[in-house]
Structure 1
């Protein structure tokens, strides 16, 4: 399966800030054990690329991407680390083109119909909708489905356990990004028990909405 197919099956994308490289692989283990087989390492900390590379090396079975990629330099670092997908908070044509040239899947962030159209023109079929809750949530996704029936989205921003199911029920949603079950204070304190507990709950919601094939 490609990255999109795997994300569709998994249903949720943990959006994480890795405070220290030593946390990366144990975090991946906690997510895998909970049934969440992917991880988005945000480039908000100096160790992001190193952490991503560590997970790719030591836990190749988990799907790992780079998030909050703002520059072409960060994109190159992520690609060099072995990222399997790229997430950006906004739409940068330069970064999109660089990712496509590098052969890596990219989900640029969009918030307007104009940006969705730019994504179509760039040949993309899946975009990140950000910040999803603040710009209209499920209602906005339904509205985008009329003029853009073939476009799919990965909503992220403001989604939590209580809001997850309505998003997953939308025909144009691949998966949902979220940090509610990978809180940075838990990672800083090494509290992977809490991560595992809430990740299992998120995986259960995915199974409930999408069936037993989701994991």
Structure 2
């Protein structure tokens, strides 16, 4: 891999990676700034909405010191589009052989999603050692990830999907978990209402909780 940024750096940069679904472009920068005020400066903007690429551009321009990534990348074309928009890292819910090979040959790191030992082994074969465990809770949660990671100790994971304050401790107790992904600090009702102070408060609570659990 000749990536300009290592996935390990992405994982180490924040105790939690917010999964951001941005429907209104006007919300992009205020949401990111609210998260940053609470101590979260790594962002995954999912390509689930028409304004996602523009949101990446806007946040990169407004917050040059943050790490801005793109999520829900499904194919090489979306990878290229996200990189062109300024994404510094790419996250996918799963992977295809084409996507793994494409990202391995380009400059921006890919963190592919996996849910089985065979998928982890396939990713390892192409040099991927930092993976997303998704959807975490639906795939058996922390006990499943512990079992999957036991014979694959060289891999670090970012579990995502169904994680929140009530169960995050179980994931952080695992040696294989470097960070977690979640959206509990950006609830849809607060985003819709423009309650950025509320999102900052939830972000600060999330960072404090996770940092305390890591001690």
> Structures share a fold, TM > 0.5?
yes
Residues 64-95 of structure 1: CA deviation (Å, up to 9, x unaligned): 11011112221111000111111111122211
2:105 alignment partner in structure 1: 101
Aligned residues: 211
1:8 alignment partner in structure 2: 12
Report the Cα distance in structure 2 between the residues aligned to 1:4 and 1:65, rounded to whole angstroms: 14
1:123 alignment partner in structure 2: 127
1:27 counterpart = 2:31: yes
1:167 counterpart = 2:146: no
Report the Cα distance in structure 1 between the residues aligned to 2:82 and 2:131, rounded to whole angstroms: 19
> Structure 1 residues 133 and 45 mapped into 2: Cα distance closer, same or farther (>3 Å)?
same
1:203 alignment partner in structure 2: 207
Gaps of 5+ in 2: none
Q: Is the 8 A contact 2:7 2:111 kept in 1?
A: no
Q: CA RMSD in A?
A: 1.5
Report the Cα distance in structure 1 between the residues aligned to 2:26 and 2:201, rounded to whole angstroms: 21
Residues 87-128 of structure 1: CA deviation (Å, up to 9, x unaligned): 111122211222222211111111111101111011011110
Out of 5, 20, 41, which is 2:45 matched to?
41
Report the Cα distance in structure 2 between the residues aligned to 1:62 and 1:201, rounded to whole angstroms: 20
Query: Structure 1 stretches (4+) deviating beyond 6 angstroms?
Result: none
Residues 152-199 of structure 1: CA deviation (Å, up to 9, x unaligned): 111000101111122122111111110111123432332222211211
Q: Is the 8 A contact 2:159 2:177 kept in 1?
A: yes
- Secondary structure at 1:77's aligned position in 2? helix
Report the Cα distance in structure 2 between the residues aligned to 1:23 and 1:167, rounded to whole angstroms: 30
How far did residue 47 of structure 1 move?
0.6
> Structure 1 residues 204 and 174 mapped into 2: Cα distance closer, same or farther (>3 Å)?
same
2:147 alignment partner in structure 1: 143
How far did residue 147 of structure 1 move?
1.4
TM-score by length of 1: 0.92
Gaps of 5+ in 1: none
- Secondary structure at 1:40's aligned position in 2? strand
1:183 alignment partner in structure 2: 187
Report the Cα distance in structure 1 between the residues aligned to 2:67 and 2:167, rounded to whole angstroms: 24
Q: Is the 8 A contact 1:127 1:153 kept in 2?
A: yes
> Structure 1 residues 70 and 24 mapped into 2: Cα distance closer, same or farther (>3 Å)?
same
- Secondary structure at 1:41's aligned position in 2? strand
1:73 alignment partner in structure 2: 77
Report the Cα distance in structure 1 between the residues aligned to 2:196 and 2:96, rounded to whole angstroms: 34
Out of 58, 64, 68, which is 2:62 matched to?
58
